Amino acid sequence: MVIVKLFTALVTASAVLAAVAILLASYSPSPQGVAGQNTVPQANPQNATVRFDKAINLTNNTQDSVYGQVVAAADNVYVVWQDSVPSYGSSDGRYNSRNYDIFVMRSIDGGKTFASPVNLSNNSGFSEHPQAASDSDSVYTVWADNTSGNREVLFAAGKSNGTSFDTALNLSNTTSDSFNQEIAVFGTSVYVVWLEEDDVGIKVTLRASHDGGNTFEKALVISDKATVATLPKVAADSQGVHVAWSFIEDEQENGLFYSKSSDGRTFSEPKKLNDQNNFGEPQIVAENGTVYVVSGGLDVIEVNGLFVARSTDGGATFTSEMLDVNGSFVNPLNVEAAVNGSTLYVAGQVFVSNNEEILLLPLQFQSNTAEPPALLNLSDNPKISECPSIAISGDKIFVVWEDLSPGNHEILYARGMKM
């Protein structure tokens, strides 16, 4: 999930990103009502297949916390986000403005409690749009950072269940602009995609590691047909690595595109997944050879439902359909997805009663047709809720999103159980 937020920052100095260790202090956020009062967690009865505790304010601070992402593996749950931090002048140390750094928070008990937040970037540059992936006892994060003078894609690996993170690695390492990064992991293979913009044009670019992020192979160009609005996504499973992206330039060429590789070194020719302008931001997930590409809308593109393309042969062929769930899931923004068995869970930012809420849509596939059970409103707050992220581990579902209801931008977190 990517939503473009217009931030600016002055790069005052370059910085070395040191390895950081997570202190396993017990951190158990209190459930928060929208006015800040404590509330008792309640099972949400709206959906018989999933029951969620009441959402809690995970960041709960006075600055803005935005663009949260959640990933999970076994009992380990990780939440990353970008947080506004003070920016000080180099001469007299007086407060000048605010900057953004990347923070991570870790749980080792299935998302019940969390360790104290750790600043992963902690530099003078502007750090934004973190993404994360987790497998077994490792967690991997990427973000864009302009400390060097232009935006670069930085990567940090957290080993031993995320107890410590390696020094951040500059994956793009160019003098051009690198942004819209995403990451996926399967076993010891780590894949990062992003957009690389230079004087020639904009390219969908990928780098792969096959040793748990210790080393990366050279960057590959997946497609040279991209614009600044292109949103590349990546997923990995036993069949290899799958990449999807959007292209919005003119009506004849617009579309969602897909390419795959069995080894992360050579990729298939891109295939177009849709026949009309019924798409916005894509997401891609894969599990045991079944690949899903879903797409909602964008601020500049309104769609009449959720586009779902599904492949059961490892990405060789796809079937697709448009779902609006009886008019209740029209033009979902910032869609995110996770898969568990035959059920695809889609979280989206949807207008409900003149407000933007976070809705969870479970899709159960019978043959090639999706059967949607009842929608679940996870936020149900008086102010805007946006930018959801979803992860599944075992019978637990974890969702985070950005919410204005506490009075400033905070990362809210809801933990659910499949019934």
Residue 46 gets which letter from DSSP? T
Q: Give the separation between CA 385 and CA 302, rounded to whole angstroms.
A: 18
What is the DSSP secondary structure assignment for residue 344, as one 8-state letter? E
6's CB contacts (< 8 A; 6+ apart) are none
Q: What residue has token string 């407000």?
A: 355
Rg of the chain over Cα atoms, rounded to whole angstroms, equals 20
When pLDDT is cut at 50, 70 and 90, the band that residue 331 belongs to is very high
- pLDDT digit string, tens, across residues 316-327: 999 999 998 888
pLDDT class of 404 with cuts at 50, 70, 90: very high
Q: Are 306 and 334 in contact (CB under 8 A)?
A: no
> Taking CA 126 as the corner, what is the angle to CA 125 and CA 127, rounded to the nearest 5 degrees?
110
Question: How far is residue 302's CA from residue 288's CA, in Å, rounded to a whole number?
Answer: 32
Q: Are 270 and 282 in contact (CB under 8 A)?
A: no
What are the CB-based long-range contacts (under 8 Å, 24+) for 40-45?
A: 44/376, 44/378
Is residue 6 pLDDT above 80, yes or no?
A: no
113, 388, 236, 281: CA torsion to nearest 10: -170
Torsion-angle region of residue 300: left (phi > 0), alpha (psi -120 to 50) or beta? alpha
Residue 96 pLDDT class (50, 70, 90 cuts): low
pTM equals 0.88
Average pLDDT over residues 236-248: 96
Let me know: does 264 contact 191? Beta carbons within 8 Å: yes
Walk me through the domains of the chain, giving residue ranges and CATH numbers: 27-418 (2.120.10.10)
- Distance in angstroms (rounded) separating the CA atoms of residues 311 and 294: 12
In a 10 Å sphere around its CB, with 0-12 CB exposed, 13-18 middle and 19+ buried, how is residue 342 labelled? exposed
State residue 7's pLDDT score: 32
**Residue holding tokens 């609006």?**
324
Would you state the pLDDT for residue 369? 73
pLDDT digits (tens, 9 = 90+) for 155-181: 999 988 788 899 999 999 999 999 999
Of 10-19, 183-192, 323-332, the poorest mean pLDDT is in 10-19
Q: How many helices (H) and strands (E) does the chain have?
A: 0, 32
Instruction: Let me know: does 236 contact 188? Beta carbons within 8 Å.
Output: no
Q: What is the residue-averaged pLDDT of the chain?
A: 86
CB atoms within 10 A of CB 215: 9
